[in-house]
Amino acid sequence: MVRLTAADGYTATRSYSVASPPGDSQDIEITVERLEDGEVSSYLHEVVVPGDELEVRGPIGGWFVWRGDTPALLVGGGSGIVPLMAMLRLARRSGRSDLVRLVASVRSPVELYYAEELPGPETTVVFTREAPPSWDRPPGRLGEEDLRRVLAPGATAYVCGSSGFADHVTGLLARLEFPDEHIRVERFGPTS
């Protein structure tokens, strides 16, 4: 949780996922999508500079957690990839990439988070509106076939994104007969 406090005492608090893997560093990385009219995200993009101090609390929540030693299907929409990136980084760092399959869904190449770091044998990118010219999958909404290819026996699915995206993916997983009790969802709606 990041809390900003104005000079007059007004405060605004928002949740952000940790993108860095667990480790011995004191540093944490967050990735913030800039919303045009967003109070906190715009401030973090446009006003905050290196050296500024932010009030941070957490991490909070013990549900959307992957411990790094079981098969995991990670499905992220837009900035919903952020907590999944922590898991992918952990898998790569510990030499257990074989356990992880990550599917990132974004509208177009310019909106792809971690574009340099993401590609690898364990990751798939689905472009929904505009794909690079060389891409073999035509642009279109994430579908059953995209997930069928990456299903692994005994995996837990971690689904993260907007509420609409999360509902869409859990619907696809249900149609693929993915066990409901093995699905974990994190929704990036406005912080209440």
Ligand X SMILES: Cc1cc2nc3c(=O)[nH]c(=O)nc-3n(C[C@H](O)[C@H](O)[C@H](O)COP(=O)(O)OP(=O)(O)OC[C@H]3O[C@@H](n4cnc5c(N)ncnc54)[C@H](O)[C@@H]3O)c2cc1C
Q: How far apart are CA 29 and CA 113, in angstroms?
A: 13
Give the per-residue contact string, 157-176, with ligand X (x = CB under 6 A; - = no).
-----x--------------
Residue range at the interface with ligand X (CB under 6 A); choices 29-37, 92-100, 117-125, 168-176: 29-37
Amino acid, res. 162: S
Among 20, 41, 156, 170, binds ligand X (CB under 6 A): 41
Residue 68: CB minimum distance to ligand X, A: 20
Is residue 66 within the footprint of ligand X (CB under 6 A)? Answer: no
> Can you give the C-alpha Rg of the chain in angstroms?
17
Angle at 105 between CA 142 and CA 171, to 5 degrees: 40
Question: DSSP label at 56?
Answer: E
* Separation between Cα atoms, residue 90 and residue 93, nearest integer Å: 5
Which of residues 82, 88, 90, 173 is near ligand X by CB under 6 A? 82
Residues at the contact surface with ligand X, assessed by CB under 6 A: 14-17, 30-33, 35, 37-42, 79, 82, 162, 186, 188-191
